[in-house]
Amino acid sequence: MEECFICSKHRRMAELPGGMLLADEHCLVSHLPLVLPQGPRESVYLGYLMVEPRRHIAELGDLSPPEASSLGRLAASASSALRSATGAEHIYAAIIGHGVEHLHLHLIPRYPGTPREYWRTRVDEWPEGPRGDAARIDELADAIRAAAPSE
Ligand SMILES: [Zn+2]
- Judge whether 27 and 54 are in contact, CB under 8 Å: yes
pLDDT tens digit sequence for 44-67: 999 999 999 999 999 999 999 999
Sorted by where each begins, the domain ranges of the chain are 5-147
Spatial distance between the Cα atoms of 142 and 18, rounded to a whole number of angstroms: 8
> From the CA of 16, how far away is ligand 1's center (Å)?
17
Is the per-residue pLDDT at 150 higher than 80? no
With a CB cutoff of 8 Å and minimum separation 6, the contacts of 29 are: 20, 21, 22, 23, 49, 50, 51, 52, 74, 75, 77, 78, 107
User: Domain 5-147 belongs to what topology?
Assistant: HIT family, subunit A (3.30.428)
pLDDT at residue 103 in the model: 97
> From the CA of 101, how far away is ligand 1's center (Å)?
7
Spatial distance between the Cα atoms of 29 and 132, rounded to a whole number of angstroms: 17
CB atoms within 10 A of CB 87: 11
> From the CA of 60, how far away is ligand 1's center (Å)?
14
